[in-house]
Amino acid sequence: MPQSNDTLIRRIQRELLDHSDEELELELLEDVHNLDELFDGTAGLSEEKLVRRRYFSELFRLQGELVKLQSWVVKSGHKVVILFEGRDAAGKGGVIKRIVQRLNPRICRVAALPAPNERECTQWYFQRYVSHLPAAGEIVLFDRSWYNRAGVERVMGFCSDEQYEEFFRSVPEFERMLTRSGIQLIKYWFSISDEEQHLRFLSRAHDPLKQWKLSPMDLESRRRWEAYTKAKEIMLERTHISEAPWWVVQADDKKRARLNCIRHLLGQIPYEEVAQPSIQLPQRQRNEDYVRNPTPQELIVPEVY
């Protein structure tokens, strides 16, 4: 059902509020008690502020668990690959950002591959993804993956019917090989409604900080909504295997989707808390003949602020 202008304005305002909350997340990294200062405790808060406060509190708790998971992965030598698929503006990037926000990028990294170049188009289809797979003690998050062939390449006509069918013949065996090699493969599909995607595209179109997210391919995906739906249904049906099943995240509410996905992810990996050694800072050595040379003035960045 078409939404009224007033409804759209309220929804876009909510999107802008979500964007400001993303900035707050960056400011509230260290001290969860800052939530009390930000929201003036809990007494007398509006329902909207209570919801936001609960979101921040639970997000920080889950991110603390992700840090424990990271320590266990390093100690155990576990190898994890997590695929994030879904329509444009479904929220994949948002949950990936929250997962890696407090983790070591040398241990947990994101693979977001561009369109294949001319040389890569002549390779075995999975070849350029293989180089990004984890070694022992590593986690790799794919922001879109080899499932591009079953989605955008199929809908936009970037692959032939033969390549499309070969993908479905190959991908179950490819993923079984990964799991036999000791890689844990977790696959998420982020599901949003037609109306919600329309809203998010409108928000991006009216937000100068997000307009870069609207590519010509994104705009074309709106027109081909039904074709993408059919391609997604076929993909889930033909690639849902016991070794690497699909998990669908209901993502019309971005914040709930982030929390639900992270919580589910933590439940898929048999991690446990690893005891950390106590850290003692060594005394700095001081030499009587040491003199620090002044920095040349022309090298100093002007202090405008």
Measured between its terminal Cα atoms, the distance across the chain in Å is 49
Q: Are 89 and 211 in contact (CB under 8 A)?
A: no
Residue 154 Cα to chain centre, angstroms: 24
* pLDDT tens-digit readout, 1-58: 455 677 777 776 776 667 666 656 655 555 555 566 566 555 566 787 788 889 999 9
* pLDDT at residue 97, as a whole number: 94
Q: Are 136 and 79 in contact (CB under 8 A)?
A: yes
* pLDDT tens-digit readout, 141-186: 999 999 999 999 999 999 999 999 999 999 999 999 999 999 999 9
Q: Are 136 and 77 in contact (CB under 8 A)?
A: yes
Distances (CA, A) of 108 to 79, 92, 97, 102: 10, 16, 11, 10
> pTM value?
0.87
Residues 6+ apart with CB under 8 A from 121: none
CATH of domain 65-268: 3.40.50.300
* pLDDT tens-digit readout, 211-270: 888 888 888 989 999 999 999 999 999 999 999 999 999 999 999 999 999 999 999 999
Of 85-99, 197-211, 255-269, the least confident: 197-211
